[in-house]
Amino acid sequence: MADLMKGKKGLILGVANKRSIAWAIARSVSSQGAELAFTYQGERLAENVKELADTLPNSQVMPCDVTDEAQVDAVMRELDSKWGGVDFLVHCVAFANAEDLEGGYLKTKKEGFATALNVSAYSLTLVSQKVAPLMEKNGGGSILTLTYLGGQRVMVNYNVMGVAKAALEASVKYLANDLGPKNIRVNAISAGPVNTLAARGITGFADIIKMVREKSPLRRNIEPEEVGDAGLFLVSQLSRGITGEILFVDCGYNIIAF
């Protein structure tokens, strides 16, 4: 099967480099024939994203800061003009200040809290609002985001990002309910730790990787490609009866109580 996504068009937010989970998902859906648009935030990431996008057929790149509604609107206008509709959106955007990812959560300041929740959680709601009309044009669609076990359990040094992921997971369920009548599905993947640029910002990340490898039922860490293929499943028609769900792709670590 090499044309599962043939004729489908999707927007992917959050590719930073070739190790990004967003990029793994992009490769999986592209391998099945999807046409993709990527966004980047700031010129620092522009070159990386453009170079990666150039390796895939039928791809385009545009700037977008998800905290700026005007920029999100501009992306949607461009996609409406070029495509006329969108079939899926992959939201892989998260951020917290470095000082909030070490020590305890108790010391979190209002500014750091607002930043983490705005970028990591509210941005899903915003882009869902904006992309929904374009998905309706195509008879429906699929929205996918990324979360982490730290949104459900206390993870050392995850702190305010855990609170943001909890808000993100609740948003998935409420958005799924609101958008379901429009035949738009909303789901999340809770991936195990992957050695990405963002993950390396968490103090003690190497210890987390080691612990998951030792304790998970499969006794290993996940590969980005495994998340990519799960993402392909959730944005394709294979998952057409699934919405409002959090799919764990973590070698089973989430079921372990120790």
pLDDT digits 0-9 by tens, 230-244: 999 999 999 999 999
3-class SS string, 106-136: HHCCHHHHHHHHHHHHHHHHHHHHHHHHHHH
Q: Which whole number is the average pLDDT over 201-226?
A: 88
Q: Which whole number is the average pLDDT over 219-248?
A: 97
- Buried b / exposed e over 222-242, threshold 16 CB at 10 Å, is bebebbbbbbbbbbbeebeee
Active site residues: 148, 158
Q: Which whole number is the average pLDDT over 58-84?
A: 97
Running DSSP on this structure, what letter comes out for residue 42? S
Quick check: 258 pLDDT over 90? no
Q: Torsion over CA of 4, 25, 16 and 91, rounded to 10 degrees?
A: 90
Which of 214, 171, 172, 173 has its CA nearest to residue 193? 214
pTM of full prediction above 0.85: yes
For residue 196, what pLDDT band results from cuts at 50, 70 and 90? Answer: low
Quick check: 204 pLDDT over 80? no
Which of 60, 62, 58 has its CA nearest to residue 32? 58
* Residue ranges of domains in the chain, CATH in brackets: 9-249 (3.40.50.720)
Q: Which whole number is the average pLDDT over 121-145?
A: 98
Tokens in use for 217? 């039922």
Which residue matches tokens 């799960």?
A: 230
Quick check: 131 pLDDT over 70? yes
CA distance 160 to 163: 5
Q: Which whole number is the average pLDDT over 41-52?
A: 90
- Under 8 Å between Cβ of 61 and 52: no
Which residue matches tokens 């958005």?
A: 175
Which residue matches tokens 């150039």?
A: 54
CA distance 169 to 163: 10
119 vs 16: which has the higher pLDDT: 119
Quick check: 203 pLDDT over 90? no
The region of weakest confidence among 35-49, 109-123, 203-217 is: 203-217
CA distance 173 to 207: 31
Question: Position 235: which residue type?
Answer: V
pLDDT digits (tens, 9 = 90+) for 80-99: 999 999 999 999 999 999 99
E-assigned strand segments in the chain: 9-13, 35-40, 59-63, 88-91, 141-147, 184-191, 246-249
For residue 108, what pLDDT band results from cuts at 50, 70 and 90? Answer: very high
The predicted structure's pLDDT at residue 198: 62
The predicted structure's pLDDT at residue 74: 98
Average pLDDT score over the chain: 94
